Structure 1
Amino acid sequence: MGWSRLPKGSFTGIDWSRPGATDGFDPYLVWAEADHFSGYEEVPGKWLPGVVELREGWSIAAFVALASPQSVCVRKVYTAHAAPAGLRFCSVLAGRAFFREIQPGGRLHEVVKRFEMGLPAGEQSRDPPQPQQSRAREGRAAGPGLLSGKVIGLIDDSLALAHADFLDAAGKPRTAFFWRQDSEGAGRVPASMGYGHELTAADIARAMAANTSHGVCDESGVYIDLGLSTLGKVSPDGRVRFHALDTAQSHGTFVLDLAAGPMPLPSRVANLPPGFDAPASWDEPGDAASKCPVIAVQLDYDTVQDTSGGSMNVGVLDGLLYILSRCDTEAQITVNISFGTLAGPHDGSSVLEAAMDQLVALYDGRLRLVLAAGNGYQSRTHANIPLTAASKPRAPWRRKAALDWQVQPDDRTQSFLELWLPAGAHEVEIEVTPPGRSPLPALRWGESRMWTDGQALPCCALIYPRSVATGENGTCALLALSRTFSFEPGAATAPSGRWRVKLKTRGGDAVVDAYIERDDIVDGASGRPQSCFEDADYAIGAPVDSPADPTLIRRSGSFNSIGTGSRTTSVGATRMTHTSAVPGIPDPRWALYSPRKPDPDRSRPERPGVVKVPRDEAYGDENPVLQGVTGAGTRSGAMVRLRGTSAASPQVTRQLLNASGKR
């Protein structure tokens, strides 16, 4: 049993075994190169997608002008009118030369502050036929077709564009622009983005007209003609168009209906209790949100499937710039993002969160971003570990601690555990013991190794750099595991079972937060069971944390990792009706899966800046028994029930849009 040295990266050319080589980089990039990108569909070709943050004083146009054409490709939208002056974040396609140019002495070393890898799969893995980038800033004059007034933006998965809830009074589509980020379907490649396909309201209207007979629109036919395969299908003989039961609901359709449909939530609730006091977000039918135009972005399905967070940064940031590019300079834009991940710094310093915060600031009140707070409160994916070197530590501080990470069999995706340490925590050692094996040697701050278990590729790596690109405060030690099962011959697999992770500090106090990354997808899928922490002291039946509970596993702190920015609005889920008092539960109105406020665990030591409570709240359940709320199915007239903070956030989106522009 022993660690092996990390290899030289086949794409970046960086020798990751060199002392200090991993410092300041994205640890997921280091792991991807260590296992030859086996966790992704494809090995990168000429380009590797990612998001760049520039240093203060640098513009995107200056960055593009300085970089060599072989080094980086930047989408035109980032130098067009949609990108406000001063924006320092952009998605890029990075070439091999990029990683030489950001090294000390390279032309981009003093320009690029950090680079976070995107998902080298799907559309992002393909080389663009011609780099779609501009080397001079384009004007901001409003062109024909740009939207003004109040606009709702949606970044989600499949959207039922022909649904009656998204038509205006004349029966015309309210979806003014629709951009799907994959390579399928009808439409044009938007020149400003260089990938995906765009539809306008006129395109949608033509497809509806072509599939209307005797005044009735065949919505399945619309989706088949538009190439929306998740919404419309054709029978094997090609004669019958239909939608199967597995497409009766879609996350994007449900979310947009709550944000901008004609029926506010109270109209859908059959039995409101007497004297129920509806909140301000429950506007009357005919509100601004039910009439305003919509700009929708459908994430690449590879992004939806990959909930390790590797693609969320590029897909969401590009989606935001696309939405902004279709609005004029006076539009009031409110965007809902009911997607997210579990791991990350949780202090607003991730690249995507920092980018969203800057966009909101630069738009000076005309842009609002609303995100779901997450549904992982009971998932046992977070642990809080207060460490001290004191000879007689007092609870909850410990001189050393052990986490048991239960990794499931038949997991055909990789698993990740992030250990976030505050600045100055240089004396923390990490020891890993795989299931049924002896402990691997403890690693210290700045050390990174991989473990092959006799296989050609690593089945595990502990990457423990002094600093990381994925957060700005302290550092992150990433424990990355290969899948536990594979049908592919020769694929590296990690042992399933209980992985033990021990931490201790040789000096000073340090609060460490451990986050297991999400390993499911929105609609569920086989072969990706969620891993979790195990502890005999964890009270599974208790829905909230008790400060006196000795377990390291804490519900508090389980939060959407892209929802902790200082200028975005995170939304937790509550119940419409609930028992007035429940023993052991401080506030029973909160849904059990949602983060809540005030934080029941707020007396526990925390890393500086960590966000654990949502900024706002809305309904995710009708009551403790009837969970979820109702929203549109994928066909007109159909209603479905979904629960979660994904249902809560669009209600706040609706409220903010209706209030936008009021001073």
Structure 2
Amino acid sequence: MTLTWQGPRSQNGLEGVQHPIQHWILAPDPLPATSGSGAEADGTVLAHVFRFNSSRDMFAFKAAFPPREDSVPTGGTSRLASGAVFPEVGPMLLPDEQLLTTGFARFDEARAMHDALKDKGWGDMLLAGLPVPAPPLSGIISALEAVVPPRPALGQGRPVHVLLDTAIAFANARFLDADGKTRIVEFWDQSALPDKGDPRFLGRLTSGREIDAMRKDHSQAGNVDDWGLYAAYDAMAYGPGSERRLPAATGHGTHVLDTLCGGPSEASQIVAVELPQASVDATHGGMLAPSVLLTLQWMNTWNLTPPPMLNYSFGGIAGRHDGEGLLESLFDLAVKNGTASAITLPAGNSFATQTHAQFTHADLATPRELVWNIQPDDGTPSFLEIWLPRCRHRRGDGQPDDKATISLTVTPPCGGGRSFTDLDYGVHELLDGGDVVARLYIICTHPILGGRKRPLMLLAVRHTALGRSHFGHRGGKPELAGDWALEFSAIDLPDGDTVDVWIERDDPLGRARTGARQSYFTAPRPVWPQEAPKSPVVGNAGTISDIATGKRTLVAAGHSLVDRQPASYSSEGFVPKPRARPTASAGCEFSPARPGLLGAGFFSGSTYPMGGTSTACAVVGRIAATLAQKGQKPTRAEVAARAALDDPRTHPANDRLDLRFDRYDGPPPRTRVGAGCLNLPADLLRRNDVDR
């Protein structure tokens, strides 16, 4: 393999509003800057996130790009020939009367839409080219006329839990009321084919009445045949040969929902949203934004008192981590506008993954090397993000240029190193002959709700596995596996500022057939009985989820019940940034010898232990709902106050972990557990046989 760097080339307008990760997911090759291949060439319908300056501007855009159908023979399927399709429900309201909404359009028209928004001053296309939540529907206009379902039949005055998750066993007996009727009011399966009788929105909607009827149809002597029920549903919802991969024991969403609000004594109503499996399998989380925004737009039409509570047990690793990312902004906006009374998120399970490094001004007084190890036989691309404090520019027109902040030298395992600075904006491509095997994007990012523009240097590397790609890429490049040497040096990094480097999450979730393998930074590891020397730059701090640093969300860390020490994987926030740490910690492990908490298995009557901060997230959501039922607002301050009462220990701001025993000598620091460790609700204690 002979590698050469090429570029930089400028990003065109449309490419500039795509996250670089999308370029590596959409097409067999990284999406080119010009038309002619992949999704852009075949007219695939994709999701785009639009921001309009006013309702008048949105209507003007719709008039300029009305949806039109192809002419098809009788009995054929009409397809979107041109134009954009938007949800009938209202968009999210932003400050200064701006509007945020998801729209659907053919990718080969997206460039014209982007340019028209800029030229006419109507607004912006914030994200372009995200996969449609239901891939089988790409291009079918009859399924895009309303995009989101009609308002569910929810009763006022009763608590409502909304779950966005995967592997939700909607017919499980744990979600029945005392009369044997399901408490799931609506189940929106965004991966399913549309209902032929009502194909007005993406996916398939199943009402509580329909779930009860299915349970009755598959019941013998009061016992429901879950296997038969789900087989019949899959044949109807996915078509022959396209059935889901049913879990053998538990489903992530099933366990989370049971921990959140399972049991016949619960009076809450449930709305469950099954996220698209292809989007869930991409564990970096970048493909879930349309599903989240569509769900929030749907919730925006409910007008409930009190507003529903949302649980979203997902998250990546790499990102801004300053509360101004897309999903963080959407979640904060939803709570502020009353779309949701509370949104609960996990802190993440990345504490020990060696995926975050941080350089200070003193660290880079002399050049420092960081080694990024990409594993062999990795079926998905690997991504590394470098975030700097603020954008700087080459001025031109006779004005002096800004000084660059840092210099970065990238050297692949098989040679071919090159140096860059954060002023080298554009796309730099690493070529093996004519094949693009890696790209370095240097861009100035813009928060969607305003805020500080920050430079991002993102290194994307082709997968290393041969013939195992889940996302349709061509053959991988095994030679790319190994140590990538990254040398950093400061040019003009102010004292007090930092350079943060994250590796994006890239692990297989559940039974996903991605072949993903997590890359990592090399760092000293402990060898018994000695404790390894601490890496000067690679650490556990800052491994908190990329969507967990907003202002209004509830962020759950996880701990062991027996000693109230953090779970070994529970991610850590930042020391100097109180907002970028968990709100509180909840039990998600019984003990190191007995992992997980017991909850519902996928099939009725079964139980299964599951750990992770997803379980802790559901516990915090349950506690927040209890606070709401007592008349308290389920805010971050209220949950933190509850944690402080449950855990009166004095938690230091930060502390050193004894890596030999995965525990702290004293109470764990606030960067790991937030305000403290919450007590497990009594019913969950009984379920887990905890007599305390």
* TM bin (shorter chain): 0.7 to 0.9
Match in the other structure for 1:523: 510
Superposition map of 1:624-639 within 5 A: 624-639=592-607
Match in the other structure for 2:412: 434
Superposition map of 1:373-384 within 5 A: 373-384=347-358
Please say if 1:49 is aligned against 2:46.
Answer: yes
Tell me the CA shift for residue 490 of structure 1: 5.9
> Alignment partner for residue 513 of structure 1, among 481, 493, 500?
500
- Higher RCO structure (Cα 8 Å, ≥6 apart): 1
1:105, 1:198 → 2: CA distance? 33
Per the alignment, do residues 150 and 307 of structure 1 end up closer, same or farther by CA in structure 2, a change over 3 Å counting?
same
The letter of the residue matching 2:320 is: P
Match in the other structure for 2:344: 370
Match in the other structure for 1:258: 259
Match in the other structure for 1:340: 315
- SS of corresponding position for 2:371: strand
Per the alignment, do residues 254 and 220 of structure 1 end up closer, same or farther by CA in structure 2, a change over 3 Å counting?
same
Match in the other structure for 2:675: none
**Cα contact 2:57–2:123 (8 A) shared by 1:** no
Match in the other structure for 1:321: 297
Gaps of 5+ in 1: 8-14, 264-285, 579-587, 604-608
Tell me the CA shift for residue 625 of structure 1: 2.4
Superposition map of 1:80-479 within 5 A: 88-95=99-106, 96-103=108-115, 106-107=118-119, 109-112=121-124, 114-115=126-127, 117-119=129-131, 123=135, 126-130=138-142, 132=144, 145-148=153-156, 149-184=158-193, 191=200, 194-227=201-234, 246-262=247-263, 286=265, 290-325=266-301, 327-363=302-338, 367-386=341-360, 388=361, 393=362, 396=363, 398-424=365-391, 426-467=404-445, 473-479=453-459
1:29, 1:630 → 2: CA distance? 37
1:60, 1:260 → 2: CA distance? 42
> Alignment partner for residue 74 of structure 1, among 82, 86, 104?
86
The letter of the residue matching 2:384 is: L
2:143, 2:221 → 1: CA distance? 47
1:143, 1:22 → 2: CA distance? 35
The letter of the residue matching 2:442 is: Y
Superposition map of 1:600-619 within 5 A: 602=575, 611-619=579-587
Match in the other structure for 1:495: 480
Tell me the CA shift for residue 220 of structure 1: 1.3
2:432, 2:121 → 1: CA distance? 38
- SS of corresponding position for 1:127: coil
Tell me the CA shift for residue 335 of structure 1: 1.1
Gaps of 5+ in 2: 67-81, 393-403, 633-692
**Cα contact 2:335–2:341 (8 A) shared by 1:** yes
**Cα contact 2:110–2:128 (8 A) shared by 1:** no
**Cα contact 1:595–1:612 (8 A) shared by 2:** no
**Cα contact 1:176–1:295 (8 A) shared by 2:** yes
The letter of the residue matching 1:619 is: G
1:77, 1:152 → 2: CA distance? 21
Please say if 1:592 is aligned against 2:568.
Answer: yes
Per the alignment, do residues 464 and 144 of structure 1 end up closer, same or farther by CA in structure 2, a change over 3 Å counting?
closer
Tell me the CA shift for residue 322 of structure 1: 3.2
Tell me the CA shift for residue 612 of structure 1: 3.7
**Cα contact 2:391–2:455 (8 A) shared by 1:** no
Tell me the CA shift for residue 54 of structure 1: 2.1
> Alignment partner for residue 552 of structure 2, among 559, 564, 567?
567
**Cα contact 2:372–2:485 (8 A) shared by 1:** yes
Q: Identity, % of aligned pairs?
A: 23
- SS of corresponding position for 1:590: coil
Please say if 1:554 is aligned against 2:539.
Answer: yes
Per the alignment, do residues 84 and 248 of structure 1 end up closer, same or farther by CA in structure 2, a change over 3 Å counting?
farther
2:88, 2:626 → 1: CA distance? 32
- SS of corresponding position for 2:320: coil
Deviations 1:189-248 (A, max 9, x none): 663xx2111100111111111111122111111111111899x999x9xxxx9998x522
Equivalent residue pairs, number:
584
Deviations 1:94-137 (A, max 9, x none): 444443343488445451163255236852871132474579xx
Tell me the CA shift for residue 184 of structure 1: 4.4
Per the alignment, do residues 51 and 356 of structure 1 end up closer, same or farther by CA in structure 2, a change over 3 Å counting?
farther
Per the alignment, do residues 134 and 368 of structure 1 end up closer, same or farther by CA in structure 2, a change over 3 Å counting?
same
Tell me the CA shift for residue 400 of structure 1: 2.8
- SS of corresponding position for 1:335: strand
The letter of the residue matching 1:428 is: I
2:309, 2:287 → 1: CA distance? 23
2:529, 2:99 → 1: CA distance? 44
2:529, 2:587 → 1: CA distance? 22
Per the alignment, do residues 164 and 30 of structure 1 end up closer, same or farther by CA in structure 2, a change over 3 Å counting?
closer
Tell me the CA shift for residue 67 of structure 1: 5.1
1:653, 1:354 → 2: CA distance? 20
2:236, 2:309 → 1: CA distance? 28
> Alignment partner for residue 26 of structure 1, among 19, 22, 29?
19
**Cα contact 2:251–2:602 (8 A) shared by 1:** yes
- SS of corresponding position for 1:294: strand
1:638, 1:134 → 2: CA distance? 38
The letter of the residue matching 1:2 is: T
2:383, 2:307 → 1: CA distance? 39
Deviations 1:397-454 (A, max 9, x none): 5443222111011111111111111114643222211002131243442433444443
- SS of corresponding position for 1:102: helix
Per the alignment, do residues 419 and 482 of structure 1 end up closer, same or farther by CA in structure 2, a change over 3 Å counting?
same
Give the helix-richer structure, 1 or 2.
2
Tell me the CA shift for residue 183 of structure 1: 3.0
Q: Normalising by the residue count of structure 2, what TM-score does the alignment of the two structures yield?
A: 0.75
The letter of the residue matching 2:153 is: G
Tell me the CA shift for residue 556 of structure 1: 0.9
The letter of the residue matching 1:92 is: G
- SS of corresponding position for 1:650: helix
Tell me the CA shift for residue 171 of structure 1: 0.8
2:252, 2:432 → 1: CA distance? 43
**Cα contact 2:331–2:553 (8 A) shared by 1:** yes
The letter of the residue matching 1:642 is: M
- SS of corresponding position for 1:348: coil
Deviations 1:471-519 (A, max 9, x none): 9541211100111122289635261001112222222324111111111
Tell me the CA shift for residue 187 of structure 1: 8.0
The letter of the residue matching 1:127 is: G
Deviations 1:507-558 (A, max 9, x none): 232411111111123315562111111024x6588999x9x93431111111
